[in-house]
Amino acid sequence: MTIRETVLARFAQVYGHDAQYLVRAPGRANLIGEHTDYNEGFVMPLAVNRAVWMAVAPREDDQICVFTIDYGDELVSIPTNQVQEPIWPHWTTYIRGAWWLMQQQGQNPCGADILIGSDIPIGGGMSSSAAIGVASIEAVLALLGDNRYTQKQKALLAVDIEHKFTGVPVGVMDQMASAIPEGPYAILLDCRSLETEPVVIPQQASIVVINSMKPRQLVDSEYALRRQQCEDAAKILGVKSLRDATLDLVNQYASTLGDVLLRRARHVVTENERTLKMRDVLMSENLTQAGELINNSHYSLRDDYEVSIQELDILTEKARQHQACFGARIMGGGFGGCAVSLVQREQVSGFVDAVKEQYAAATGLQAEFYVCEPTAGSSVEFLV
């Protein structure tokens, strides 16, 4: 059974009637453009072929019932006037957040039966939380019959859940990647204007996400610290955000910035350049250069932005050493988690076997590999 069929079948079993809407919101990989989104810079993520599926039907009473496959298989019930009460499991946070946001806008979404299934690995660095946020927004808007929102606006509502409800200061990349793509390609996203441009990944390359199996640590505090350092650097440079800085400007202010802020700013400036360059090299199908940009992104994240860890350095080095690999780098917030690599499509299985073995020999850890295909962003299927 596909995950789509499983979710619909379990919905009927758990609730005793059929779902009316089926929401799909994919996870994301990020080819390049790391820690640039909150600097109003450029990122190049893609929606991947792993997603959160949410089957939904309205209820006549004011309860939001949520059943999650694979996570304790338990049924949670939340009254619509108590969505602010924190409850476990955390999955419900995004659903409560979506209802809360609509209520803040003066809308009154009804109760609902909801069943969630997902094949995005949790903690696998493919933004399962952002996908649940986007799916929750799609679900509540479908129930309200509200079709005024564009995919971009839906992504921003999902970001609002993080900023205003869960209190996490994320950038816009993950939600945009889950909601926006209209087809099987990456997007170049300008995080200032929020304009997007499709970027086709050449057929002969595969995107392989590798989970180092080293859990992320200190992420929240270090993430907030990096954001603060970027703001401090921008202030010294006299620019609105680091998006507006150039390498010359950064070097000119080297002594005022000091070593740390200089390196933080240099990462953001050069990463924006690399991300824009990536569009051109992919358009000309120059995968060798694309790989170099990815490798340089890693070195910059490791040396200037200091968000890598030893295991990810080893993992990406083993990946890079394989002859089928164009490039590899740490992906996402950092301090553990995942890498992304660009690999010759026909040699993916040899690449996976070799890197898995060498990484295990060096670290004792069993990495997990996810071969990703770009897909379209979130959607709602009306079933009846």
**Binding footprint of ligand GLA on the chain (CB under 6 A):** 34-35, 37-38, 170-171, 173-174, 332-333
Q: What is the largest CA-CA distance in the chain?
A: 68
Give the residue from 193, 192, 214, 226 showing the smallest Cα distance to 305: 226
Residue 338 CB, nearest distance to ligand GLA (Å)?
10
Contact present, 161 and 136 (Cβ < 8 Å): yes
| Strand partners of residue 44 | 32
Phi, psi of 317 (to 5 degrees): -70, -45
Contact present, 22 and 4 (Cβ < 8 Å): yes
> Distance (Å, rounded) from C-alpha 4 to C-alpha 2?
5
| Cβ distance to ligand GLA smaller for residue 38 or 351 | 38
| Cβ distance to ligand GLA smaller for residue 8 or 338 | 338
| Cβ distance to ligand GLA smaller for residue 30 or 206 | 30
| Cβ distance to ligand GLA smaller for residue 109 or 332 | 332
Phi, psi of 382 (to 5 degrees): -90, 120
Residue 271 CB, nearest distance to ligand GLA (Å)?
9
Q: Cβ-count burial of 283 within 10 angstroms (0-12 exposed, 13-18 middle, 19+ buried)?
A: exposed
Instruction: Return the amino acid letter for 175.
Output: Q
Phi, psi of 125 (to 5 degrees): 80, 10
174 in active site: yes
| Cβ distance to ligand GLA smaller for residue 113 or 162 | 162
Q: Could you tell me the end-to-end alpha-carbon distance of the chain, in angstroms, rounded to an integer? A: 21
- Catalytic pick among 37, 113, 160, 174: 174
Residue 244 CB, nearest distance to ligand GLA (Å)?
18
Contact present, 31 and 139 (Cβ < 8 Å): no
| Cβ distance to ligand GLA smaller for residue 109 or 333 | 333
Contact present, 176 and 127 (Cβ < 8 Å): no
CA distances from 17 to 13, 21, 59, 61, 384 (A): 8, 12, 11, 16, 12
Residue 313 CB, nearest distance to ligand GLA (Å)?
18
Residue 272 CB, nearest distance to ligand GLA (Å)?
12
Residue 159 CB, nearest distance to ligand GLA (Å)?
9
Please list the active-site residues. Answer: 174
